Amino acid sequence: MASIAVVLSIALLAALFMSFTVGANSNSAPVAPAVGANALSVLKAALLVGLVAGLGAILQGGSISETIGKDLITGVAITPLAAAAALLTAATLITIGNTYGYPIPSAFTVTGAMIGSGIALGGGFAVHEYVVILGFWFAIPIVEGVLAYGLARGLRSDAVPEVVGIPLLGGTVGYALANIQLTIIPTASGTQGSVAQYLATTYQFLPTVIGGSYTLGMVVVSVLSGLVALVGTRALLRRDETAGINQFLIALGLVVVFTSGGTQVGLATGPLEAVFETDLQLPSIYLLALGGGGILLGAWIRGPRLVHAVSNEYASLGPRRSIAALIPAFLVAQLAIVLGIPISFNKVMIASIVGSGLAASSSGGSGISLRKVGITIGSWVGSMLGAGIVSYGLYSVLNAFPGVA
């Protein structure tokens, strides 16, 4: 008879396999625009992705991990066997996509797999949660496409000098960075906090609340962070405009990679949230560290192929359109972390790249590979349905063996 220790070991290995697959598949996309703009080599990009995404996984992965592990199914707690079935299903499907060069959306696949194994376990559908998640998913291509298109057109316009427009965008990113949620900054309510919140609260800096729990002190800290980023970006451009744009593009890409690690690790660790909480009684930071390590290895070993595929096959981007693609991806992904909504970074990046690439199409540029985009959309729909069916069947088969459940 299989012991609980054996089943837990299989589930942990499945989580490591899934995080490895996510690192190879989803976290490569944010640096693809920088590679496509010849600002970074493929191999160097894969190395940086592993390090930065692994760090982001540990520092930002908690909220989405909890959603995956506890909120997709009602009435039951996910068992090690159900977690293993879901993770093995999702990781295998994503690996097949990687092999043939078509990025499979991790969030769609893991969500479908978790629902499938949870229903097989005897749980019910969390309809309200699905409505929220699906609404966010459907909004991503619209919001990001519009933002990326507008930014790309603005950066290509002669009305706004690059030494003004790009530093302003850098300042916006700096403001946002002061407000991103980090696991190392807990709040009184037990949620993740931000640097702006920590500094404003610790030093009681202008504690007047202006909306929700956002204070004037947090605004001041955020503005100062934005000004530092603005001045630094402007200094890079004034010294050497071309080199400065490329350096800003690389830095922005790494910020997005950090964010991608925070959004994607939960897809690997989420199924084991309940297991760590009840069976192992360990803090989730250990689970996030496991996922971060897997992401690092996946990015280093398998990432270069996906970096090349996304950067060269979806759109021909220059530095300006790359910047226009990365900023909406960063903002949307950070919003997903705040709300605890699992997202596919493939979808996030492709939506931004399409919007930015359309700016080139409307002005005679090379634009977008419509065939590639169409195939990718088909993979989004098929991956969720297929993962749910396969995971349901895999759990049912494994559960039928005596002593396994």
The predicted pLDDT at position 277 comes to 78
Tokens at 170, concatenated? 């850098």
Which pTM value belongs to this model? 0.85
- Please name the residue that has the structure tokens 């590639």: 372
Look at 20-34, 55-69, 195-209 and tell me which has the smallest mean pLDDT. 20-34
Q: Give the amino acid at 260.
A: S
What one-letter code names the amino acid at 265?
V
- Pairing relationship of beta strands 182-186 and 192-193 according to DSSP bridges: antiparallel
Taking only the tens place, the pLDDT of each residue in 225-248 is 999 999 999 999 988 888 888 889
pLDDT digits (tens, 9 = 90+) for 2-61: 456 777 788 888 888 888 877 877 777 777 767 776 777 878 888 898 899 999 999 998
Give the C-alpha distances (Å, rounded to integers) separating 256 from 95, 250, 251, 329: 23, 10, 9, 7
**314 pLDDT above the threshold of 50:** no
Contact criterion met (CB below 8 Å) for 34 and 318? no
Which backbone phi and psi does 363 adopt, to 5 degrees?
-120, 20
Q: What is the spatial distance between Cα 79 and Cα 211, in angstroms, rounded to a whole number?
A: 40
Q: What is the pLDDT of residues 353-384, one digit of tens each?
A: 788 777 665 554 445 566 666 666 677 777 88
Which neighbouring-strand residues pair with 215? 209
Q: What pLDDT shows up at residue 38? A: 73
For residue range 21-32, what is the model confidence (pLDDT) as tens digits? Answer: 778 777 777 777
d(CA 55, CA 258): 7
